[in-house]
Amino acid sequence: MAATVFYVDEVPAPGAVAVLDGAEGRHAATVRRIRVGESITLSDGRGVLADSTVVAAHRDRLELTVRDRVRATPAAPRVTVAQALPKSDRSELAVELMTEAGADAIIPWRAARCIANWEGKEAKAIGKWRAAARAAARQSRRAYIPDVARLYRTRDLLHLIRQVTTDGAVAVALHESGRSRFAELPLADATEIVLVVGPEGGLDEAEITALAAAGANIALLGPTVLRTSTAAAVALGALGALTARW
């Protein structure tokens, strides 16, 4: 079994002593009760992994000797999820699930039918999404923590789709009205994939028309209608099998 992953700002060179403190250190020392002699993996969340051994354990921090250091190869094609804001009780769950399933970047999107409203609290909400992504990346032992972008409006999302699809990316808006089947899209040859997930009330007709005009495929993911909080994770699982990501 792979050693537990914890994140630091910078991973020292082999032979150096690293200090794991702050929230990560408290979680390792107090919650996980990791002790001297145990092995953990340190990561900067940007691809660097280092096998390390605990040489000193304190109440809220650990000291470790770094044994070796490598850089993990990013999954390809890169997958960005534009996630319409779910209701508050499912918002961070959506981030956790898509992170565990392998999302490389996450865009919070204010779709027309979103119930959630981040007006006046955008910075706090994005902070919660970033914390959820970090915790889920640790849980799933990822070398890369997904980037969580600023809040996008529909015009921002349409601009992104126009931009990336001219460079070989495939954009897919998941919707039950889609005439294309997700598994039949040219995903294996894509340079990048952008998944668009609508809110609880679904994409409205104007959004579907605008997304298609911008270059997105309107596609049916499977035989059932999924919650907005689970759709991205299911799609990412399918992409693992349909592309070289797995």
Residue 66 to residue 53: CA distance in whole angstroms? 7
Residues of the chain with pLDDT under 70: 1-3
Structure tokens at 31: 């919650």
> Which pLDDT score is estimated for 1?
41
Classified by CATH at the fold level, domain 5-71 comes out as Ribosomal Protein L25; Chain P (2.40.240)
Q: Which amino acid is at 99?
A: T
> Which pLDDT score is estimated for 3?
67
CB-based burial label for 49 (10 Å; 0-12, 13-18, 19+): buried
- Inter-CA distances, 82 with 20, 104, 108, Å: 33, 11, 6
Residue 220 to residue 231: CA distance in whole angstroms? 11
Residue 133 to residue 198: CA distance in whole angstroms? 20
> Which pLDDT score is estimated for 4?
83
User: What's the predicted TM-score (pTM) here?
Assistant: 0.92
First to last CA, the chain: 18
Task: Give the DSSP per-residue string, 218-231.
Answer: EEE-SSSPPPHHHH
Q: In terms of DSSP H, where are the helices of the chain?
A: 22-26, 88-101, 122-139, 154-165, 205-214, 228-242
- The CA R_g of the chain, rounded to the nearest whole Å, is 20
Residue 225 to residue 75: CA distance in whole angstroms? 27
3-state SS class at 216: coil
Peptide bond before residue 108 is cis, with ω within 30 degrees of 0: no
Are 169 and 190 in contact by the 8 Å Cβ rule? The answer is yes
Residue 30 to residue 17: CA distance in whole angstroms? 20
On whether the 78-242 domain is CATH 3.90.730.10, my answer is: no
Structure tokens at 188: 């294996």
Domain boundaries, the chain: 5-71, 78-242
